[in-house]
Each structure stands twice: as C-alpha cells, then as structure tokens.
C-alpha cells in the first residue's frame, strides 16, 4: 500500500493551488467558481490528483474538512464523457450510513453534476420507493445510497451494479460501527472487480481493513488529520455537576445565543429532553432513527435555517450531518467510545470556524469520562459548576430560560379543492352521512391515501441550495 501523508500544516502563499492545477476539467472548475469555490481544502489537494488518475484512494480527514468534494469532483470528472447510464444500471455509487448524509452529499454534488450533464439520485430508506424506482428506470449516472435501501432495490430487480465505474464509501468507519459491513461487503461484491474504489472517513481503523484488503487495489492513503480531536479552533470542557442540577444546567446552556447541538444517548432521552426544554421556554428539535423521514427532514431544515437554535440528537441520527455555524456541542450523556466523541465534536469548528465542546459529568462518571477523553486525544479543562454559576455562563454562554412554554407550530394544511370539503369527491355518500373517510376503504381497494403528503415532501428534490466547500 502506497502511503502519502499530508502534514496538515496551512500552505504558504506560493503553495496555494486552484482546482485547475489539480487536474479538474474546466467545466467543473467554472461551475465551482460561479459558486465562489476557488481554493481546495487540504484533503482535496491531497487526494484529488490520485483519484483523477484512477487510483484507489483511502482518505482520512477530520469532519468538515471537505471530503465530499474530495471524492465527488473526481467522480463527476470521470463521468463527464456524455455517455448516459443504461436503464437500471448506474455508473457510479456512493454508499453512506444515513439518510441525512445521503441528502447532504446530493445537495453538494447535484448542481455540479447538472452543469456537466451527469444526473444524480438518492436511494434511502424512510421514503417511498416509487420515485427512486422511476429514476433508476430512466437511467441515473450517480446513485447515492444507504446500504439497506440499495439492497432492497437490487432484490426488486430495479437496480444492477454491473456498470459501476467508481464506488465511494463515505464515513466507512461509521458504517462499520453501525453494523453495515456485511451489507456493504455484499454490495461491493456486485460491482466490477476493476472499478475504482474511494474510501473516505474521519478515522481509518481495523474495522474497515477487511474491505480494504478485499476490494481495493494498491490504494494510496492520504491523511490530513490525526484520529484525535486536537483541533486548534475547538475548546473542550468537562463540566462536573451535581445530579440535582443536571437539567437546570442543560436548560441554561440550551437557552444560550448561537446554534447548539445536544447529544443524548437514547431516542427516549432525546424526546424527553425536547419536551422538558419546551416546558421552560427553549425551542428544540429532536432527531433520532425512530422518527419518520418527513419529520427528520423538517427538523434539520428548521435547525439549518435558524428557526430552531437547538438540535437534540442521538449519535446514529447525527452522524455525518453538516450544518454551518454550530458554535457549541453539548454532551448531556458522555459518549462511551472515543470515536463517538470525535464524531459528535466534529459538528462544530468546521472548515476553520471556532467552536466549543462541553461534556457534562456526574461525580460517578468523572473517571470513566476522563479515560475516554484521553483515548480521544483530548485534555479538557475541568470545571465544577452548578446552575446559575457565573463560570457556566462564561464557558458556554448559558443564560436563564424564559420560562414561557413553547407551543408546537402546526403542520401546514394540505391544499384542498375550493368549495369541496376534504374527502367529499372520493366518498360523496359517506361524506353526506357525516361518516369519517378512511384511507384504504374496502369500497375502494388499492386507493389508500396514506403517505401522499410524505411522497410530496419527504422525497428529496435537488438543486435548491448551492454547494459549499465545507462538504
């Protein structure tokens, strides 16, 4: 295995290069320039020449370092030959661990691909199959997919991987942690043996060695960051709190100014905390795998657009999520694994921004949390605080919540025909009798109305936001 290590130091002025100097085709260079993206990030400078040359690449860079464009631009350049994909046969595959990450990859690459005639589509769970199947039948050059949904589409006979020229594994270590390796192995085995493979991750450890040995040919490794949280623009704090003050401390930190991500260990813990914060006047969104895709999409949109400043999430749901301007990550429940800490912490101080990470620890959790942080390469500042302490406000910007309960915003009403109550046209006799209209009524088999709103809003449409060089 050939190894190339980038020391990760900021380049001096003469070393600055643009995308054209890395070998990127001019149409993509011009498209990036129109979006204000002219200077490659470290991971992009390190990996793109080899990826453009057709080499298998292992890329490691800290979260928010620009890995998506590092693999996405060479992938698009390879497909920019004008050849359309055959029906049901995508030409490139990007495997990601979560639905949210798939959508973010699409948001970053879709405008670039559209500019050069390369079409991209997602295949993720939690949304109906029909649009994904229809797109595959028409022909899609790049498919961004989660392993489970892609396996389902292949089993249904609507997708084949025989024409794959480039396969990307994004956040490979997270897929290993989430138990996806057997599915990923099976999917990679369906791609041509001579296809190019690009594997990008925040960490490259033993969990992915089997994939590397089996599917990659003489890969070149580029590492632009050590597998620790030693980020110069990130402050780490261990806040030692008494048990009876835990929620008061959490509520005051959540009430701070600025965008905050809060991590809890379980789905139940996320939902409970969102409700408790609402009761004291802090609007927060909850994100975990138990929510529908429509709810997850709406919650992320509200957080990204600033309508909600606090996002409470589990590790699995938040992995790979990119939201600009997160100034504080708060661990309500300390993570047990150093890799989980690194992934959580990576939601802030992205792409050169500053940020802070605060971990709450009860007296009985102090020793175990310090041991975990040491493995993560973090030496946090330890501070004993109680609710209302000036030190808490100084370190995190905590302030007293308003105490006025937050009311949930109602879902937007579906559009209805003027002058006709909902359901009257489909079930006129039942409407006149005042009986409720049920989806999937036995008088109208196969005409269920269930899921229509999800099909309209849950299935992603692209091109709404320009790409940014933080992906």
Q: Is the confidence at residue 455, as pLDDT, over 80? A: no
Looking at residue 143, its pLDDT comes to 98
The residue ranking higher by pLDDT, 178 or 14, is 178
CB 332 within 8 A of CB 250: yes
Q: Kindly state whether residues 248 and 281 are assigned to the same domain.
A: yes
Q: Kindly state whether residues 239 and 371 are assigned to the same domain.
A: yes
Region 370-399: what's the mean pLDDT?
A: 92
* pLDDT classification of 376: cutoffs 50, 70, 90: confident
Looking at residue 226, its pLDDT comes to 54
Looking at residue 187, its pLDDT comes to 96
Q: Which residues contact 179 (CB under 8 A, 6 or more apart)?
A: none
Looking at residue 260, its pLDDT comes to 94
Looking at residue 341, its pLDDT comes to 85
Residue 430 domain flag:
no
Residue 426 domain flag:
no
Region 18-33: what's the mean pLDDT?
A: 91
Among positive and negative, which fits the CA dihedral 300, 145, 5, 38? negative
Number of domains in the chain: 2
Domain containing 63 equals 2-223
The residue ranking higher by pLDDT, 108 or 16, is 108
Question: How far apart are the C-alpha atoms of 386 and 247, rounded to whole Å?
Answer: 11
Region 367-382: what's the mean pLDDT?
A: 91
* pLDDT classification of 233: cutoffs 50, 70, 90: low
**Domain final position from 350, 377, 396:** 396
List, for residues 256-301, the tens digit of each pLDDT value. Answer: 999 999 999 899 999 999 999 999 999 999 998 888 878 888 998 8
Q: Kindly state whether residues 144 and 290 are assigned to the same domain.
A: no
The residue ranking higher by pLDDT, 408 or 208, is 208
Q: For 338, list phi and psi in degrees, rounded to 5.
A: -60, -30
List, for residues 137-171, the tens digit of each pLDDT value. Answer: 999 999 999 999 999 999 999 999 999 999 999 98
CB 59 within 8 A of CB 222: yes
Region 395-420: what's the mean pLDDT?
A: 71
Q: Kindly state whether residues 243 and 198 are assigned to the same domain.
A: no
Residue 417 domain flag:
no
**Domain final position from 160, 192, 223:** 223
Residue 146 domain flag:
yes
Give the number of C-alpha atoms closer than 13 A to the C-alpha of residue 39, restricted to the C-beta side: 9
Q: Kindly state whether residues 195 and 334 are assigned to the same domain.
A: no
Q: pTM higher than 0.85 for the full model?
A: no
Region 435-443: what's the mean pLDDT?
A: 41
- CATH code of the domain containing 315: 3.40.50.300
Q: Kindly state whether residues 260 and 138 are assigned to the same domain.
A: no
Question: How far apart are the C-alpha atoms of 284 and 275, rounded to whole Å?
Answer: 8
Q: Kindly state whether residues 180 and 239 are assigned to the same domain.
A: no
**Domain final position from 364, 396, 428:** 396
Q: Kindly state whether residues 6 and 121 are assigned to the same domain.
A: yes
Q: Kindly state whether residues 335 and 206 are assigned to the same domain.
A: no
Give the number of C-alpha atoms closer than 13 A to the C-alpha of residue 395, restricted to the C-beta side: 28
Q: Kindly state whether residues 252 and 112 are assigned to the same domain.
A: no
Question: How far apart are the C-alpha atoms of 114 and 80, rounded to whole Å?
Answer: 10
Q: Is the confidence at residue 107, as pLDDT, over 80? A: yes
Q: Are strands 326-331 and 196-201 parallel, antiparallel or unpaired?
A: unpaired
The token pair that represents 63 in the structure block: 């979260």
Q: Is the confidence at residue 64, as pLDDT, over 80? A: no
The residue ranking higher by pLDDT, 233 or 3, is 233
Residue 414 domain flag:
no
């Amino acid at each position: 295995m050939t190894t190339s290590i980038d020391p990760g130091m900021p380049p001096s002025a003469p070393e600055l290069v643009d995308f054209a100097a890395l070998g990127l085709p001019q149409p993509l260079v011009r498209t990036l320039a129109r979006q204000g993206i002219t200077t490659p990030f470290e991971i992009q400078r390190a990996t793109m020449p080899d990826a453009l040359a057709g080499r298998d690449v292992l890329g490691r860079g800290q979260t928010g370092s620009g890995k998506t464009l590092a693999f996405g631009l060479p992938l698009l350049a390879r497909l920019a030959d004008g050849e359309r994909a055959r029906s049901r046969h995508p030409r490139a595959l990007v495997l990601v661990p979560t639905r949210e990450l798939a959508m973010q990859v699409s948001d970053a690459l879709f405008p670039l691909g559209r500019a050069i005639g390369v079409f991209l589509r997602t295949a993720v769970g939690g949304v109906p199959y029909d649009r994904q199947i229809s797109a595959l039948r028409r022909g899609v050059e790049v498919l961004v997919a989660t392993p489970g949904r892609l396996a389902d589409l292949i089993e249904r006979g609507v997708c084949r991987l025989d024409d794959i020229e480039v396969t990307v594994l994004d956040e490979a270590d997270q897929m290993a942690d989430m138990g996806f390796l057997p599915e990923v192995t099976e999917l990679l085995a369906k791609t041509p043996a001579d296809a190019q493979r690009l594997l990008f991750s925040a960490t490259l450890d033993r969990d992915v060695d089997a994939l590397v040995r089996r599917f990659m040919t003489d890969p070149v490794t580029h590492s632009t960051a050590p597998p620790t949280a030693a980020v110069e623009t990130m402050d780490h704090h261990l806040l030692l709190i008494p048990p009876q003050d835990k929620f008061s401390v959490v509520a005051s930190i959540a009430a701070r100014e600025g965008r905050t991500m809060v991590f809890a260990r379980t789905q139940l813990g996320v939902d409970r905390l969102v409700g408790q914060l609402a009761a004291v006047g802090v609007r927060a969104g909850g994100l975990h795998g138990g929510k529908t895709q429509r709810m997850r999409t709406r919650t992320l949109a509200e957080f990204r657009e600033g309508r909600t400043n606090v996002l409470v999430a589990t590790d699995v749901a938040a992995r790979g999520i990119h939201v600009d301007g997160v100034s504080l990550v708060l661990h309500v429940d300390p993570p047990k694994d150093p890799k989980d800490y690194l992934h959580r912490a990576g939601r802030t101080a992205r792409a050169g921004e500053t940020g802070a990470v605060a971990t709450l620890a009860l007296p009985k959790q102090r020793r175990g949390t310090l041991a975990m942080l040491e493995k993560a390469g973090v030496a946090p500042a330890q501070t004993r605080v109680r609710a209302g302490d000036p030190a808490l406000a100084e370190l995190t910007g905590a302030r007293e919540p308003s105490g006025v309960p937050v009311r949930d915003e109602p879902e937007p009403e579906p559009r209805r025909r003027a002058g006709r109550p909902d359901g009257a046209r489909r079930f006129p006799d039942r409407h006149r009798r005042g009986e409720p209209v049920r989806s999937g009524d036995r008088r109208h088999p196969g005409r269920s109305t269930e899921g229509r709103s999800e099909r309209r809003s849950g299935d992603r449409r692209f091109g709404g936001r320009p790409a940014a060089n933080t992906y």
